[in-house]
Amino acid sequence: MSFSLATWNINSVRLREPLVLKLLAEHGPDVLCLQECKSPVDKIPVEAFKAAGYTHMVARGQKGYNGVAILSKLPLLDAGDQDFAMLGHARHVAAKLENGTTIHNFYVPAGGDKPDREINEKFGQKLDYLSEMRDWFHAEKPEKSILVGDLNIAPREDDVWDHKKLLKVVSHTPVEVEALGEVQDSGAWVDITRQDVPEGNLYSWWSYRAADWDAADKGRRLDHIWATSDISQAGHSSHIVRDARGWEKPSDHAPVFASFDL
């Protein structure tokens, strides 16, 4: 079974419904994982997605904030969710394909502006969330699984536009990179994007604050596709649809793609 998969922080699925439909029409992933849907599940525009061929959805939502959804052409079974750090946020949902592959869709907390949990509660929540992710994967070793989402950390030096300038900026601090590495190790997860594109600058997010995001190109790779080591060699064809960052009324994230032969 071969299938393509994409992950995209959409920054409001209702506001950007036309962009989702554009991506589905032009790129046609078999499975699309969305984060920051900012919608209760019953308000997600499922009829439009069904009309586009995405007849299956597993989602968790809440009004105005967070929210994760998995849209699929392929049949899905709801595989539950986790509320790490007891935040009460819709930040994780899992689904299982008919071939037994589990897909985890995560939206890790951004962590606020100051990388210091003593003065910034949100940074502490982010670190706690990552610690509990790590502990969960240690306790329940994942197999035949794919983990995607906005993990809100750019781990490598070439995942950011300037490593030295961003060392004290939330999303690229050493403590966050270490925490994400521990999550990755706990589940023997393989970074499929970097397996396919091992060298060179690679970004999936560009700030709204930039007057010309494309020319400035001050990006970060915050969005990830991982797979457990038992299926990692089945992953291929990774790419980022950078053009989507320039569509009308865009998300500040671009979709990240990979394909799997399982």
- As a whole number of Å, the CA-based R_g of the chain is 17
Contact 32, 65 (CB under 8 A): no
- According to the annotation, is 66 in a ligand binding site? no
- According to the annotation, is 150 in a ligand binding site? yes
Tokens 């994230």: give the residue.
Answer: 253
Instruction: Compute the Cα dihedral for 160, 234, 151, 23 and give only its sign.
Output: positive
Residue 247 amino acid letter? W
Of 92, 104, 107, 172, catalytic = 107
Q: What is the DSSP letter of 187?
A: T
Looking only at the bridges linking them, the beta strands covering 31-35 and 2-9 are parallel
- According to the annotation, is 191 in a ligand binding site? no
Of 56, 92, 104, 253, catalytic = 253
Please give the Cα distance from 127 to 108 (Å, whole number): 10
Q: Exposed e or buried b for every residue in 38-53, given b needs 16+ CB within 10 A?
A: bbebeebebeebeebe
Distance from chain centroid for Cα 48: 22
- According to the annotation, is 172 in a ligand binding site? no
Residue 150 annotated in active site:
yes
Of 30, 56, 104, 150, catalytic = 150
- According to the annotation, is 248 in a ligand binding site? no
Residue 253 annotated in active site:
yes
- What 3-state class would DSSP assign to 72? strand
Residue 56 annotated in active site:
no
- According to the annotation, is 118 in a ligand binding site? no
Binding annotation: 9, 36, 150, 152, 252-253
Binding annotation for Mg(2+): 9, 36, 150, 152, 252-253
Question: Looking at the annotation, which residues are catalytic?
Answer: 107, 150, 253
